[in-house]
Structure 1
Amino acid sequence: MIIDPSDLRRVRRELGITEKELAKLSGVSQSLIAKIELGMVDPSYSKMKAISEAIMRVSGLQGKASDIMTSPVIKVSPDDTVEKAAELFEKHGISQVPVMVEGVAVGSFTERDLIKLVSEKKDVKSAFSLRIRDVMGDILPVVGSEAPIPLVLSLLEHSQAVLVSRMGEIVGIITRADVLKLRKRQ
């Protein structure tokens, strides 16, 4: 992921590093970094890539989706009941499951969906007996196992989970809780 040159100063300051430190880490001159931050130059792709990679290393965001995914994926089928999904939430301490048919994601079901469903029904028992196909939400985003962590994080800002695929097969899931694994990598 390449950082937008107009965001460089803000990002560098948030990380608490000086222009000189960033220059040393990225292999570019301090004067180039200063000029980029002041908007005086339009840096080449290779220079901005080197700077971005250095920032990713400092921030601990270097890596790929497979580094932080959880596997195997706990899932439900469209024919399963809401009761089964609720049991999986409770048994595994999770808050969402992808809905899959023959290894292909076709939707999702979350604790948020469950709460909404139960609150809308007058008869709680009938809510739990519904089929997932009738109440499932949209498909979770899917990334390749080599997708960079910053991409995964940007998807998690808008989705409760991201599925990870390798050669067309879903091999893992990354939830917001998996982001905590980044702490151990610094």
Structure 2
Amino acid sequence: MYINFIDKSFNLGNYMVIIPELKNIIEEIRVERNRNNIKSYELAKRSGISKSTLSKLENGNLNPSYDLIYRVLNALNQVVSERAPALKVSSKMIRNPICIGPNDPVSKAKEIMKKRDFSQLPIIDKDNKIVGIITEKSILDNPKAEFCSEAAEFNYTIVEPDTDLEKAHQLIRNIQVILVVSNGKLEGLLTKSDFL
């Protein structure tokens, strides 16, 4: 008997035995392929192998290498992700975020930010429309500001709730917050921590 670390199987005379962890992965491939209604010829083609090789793999009649398993798993993940509906910002956003009014004192914004460990707060009017954003930086840059409107920033990123989440993920790399707006009204927000 010898152990072959390349393909995680070992030889017992005329019998080839696959180490259980590979057997479990192969079973997961078969189950996921069936669950997602992926035809074996489609997965085989995407993996760069023949349909008979995939069939032998799934039926345990093949002594697979890690490379083969990796190629099949990678192809399976690609097909599943392509078929999955794209997630929207609305699925991840913080709904009903804490906001502040333009006529509220800056001291109130500071208190909320400190208590909640926020670095920014949307400023909205009585109709829930965005009029700006107050941030730690804008407060420091405007030390004499008494009201939030006097320390407001107007440079912020807005997306709609049905924006693809992946697009928002790309945007959030370069900014602190994304405001989610529908018909001019604030619906929610996204921060970097929402993607961790």
**Residues 119, 136 of structure 2: 8 Å contact kept:** yes
Displacement of 1:88 after TM fit? 1.2
For residue 168 of structure 1, report the CA deviation from its aligned partner: 4.3
1:99 aligned counterpart, secondary structure: strand
Give me the whole-angstrom Cα distance separating, in 1, the residues matched to 2:80 and 2:115: 36
- For residue 87 of structure 1, the aligned residue among 111, 125, 150 is 111
Choose between structure 1 and 2: higher helix proportion: 1
- Do the aligned partners of residues 141 and 55 (structure 1) sit closer, same or farther apart at CA in structure 2, a change above 3 Å counting? farther
Equivalent residue for 2:81?
Answer: 57
Are the structure 2 counterparts of residues 67 and 55 from structure 1 closer, same or farther at C-alpha, using a change threshold of 3 Å? farther
> 1:138 deviation in Å?
1.3
Kindly name which structure, 1 or 2, has the bigger radius of gyration based on alpha carbons. 2
The structure showing larger relative contact order (alpha-carbon pairs under 8 Å, at least 6 residues apart) is 1
Which residue of 1 is the match for residue 186 of structure 2? Answer: 170
Q: For residues 80 and 31 of structure 1, what CA distance do their matches in structure 2 show? A: 60
2:129 matches 1:104: yes
Q: Are 1:135 and 2:135 counterparts? A: no
- Aligned match of 2:56: none
Q: Cα–Cα, structure 1 residues 172 and 134, in superposed 2: closer, same or farther, change >3 Å?
A: same
- Larger relative strand fraction: 2
Q: CA deviation at 1:31?
A: 9.6
Count the aligned residue pairs. Answer: 127
TM-score, normalisation: structure 2: 0.53
Instruction: Report the equivalent of 2:138.
Output: 113
Partner of residue 69 from structure 1, selected from 89, 93, 102:
93
Runs of 5+ consecutive residues of structure 2 not aligned to the other structure: 1-38, 49-74
Hey, what does 1:150 align to over in structure 2? 166
Structure 1 residue ranges (4+ consecutive) displaced by more than 6 angstroms after TM superposition: none
**Distance verdict in 2 for CA 1:139–1:76, change over 3 Å:** farther
> Which digits, 9 at most, give the CA deviation of each residue in 1:126-173, with x for residues without a partner?
x4x611212211153221212111211222233211111345432111
| Alpha-carbon distance in structure 1 between the residues aligned to 2:131 and 2:170 | 22
Is residue 172–residue 192 contact of structure 2 (8 Å, CA) maintained in 1? yes
Q: TM-score with structure 1 length normalisation?
A: 0.56
Q: What is the CA-CA distance between 1:116 and the residue it aligns to? A: 3.3
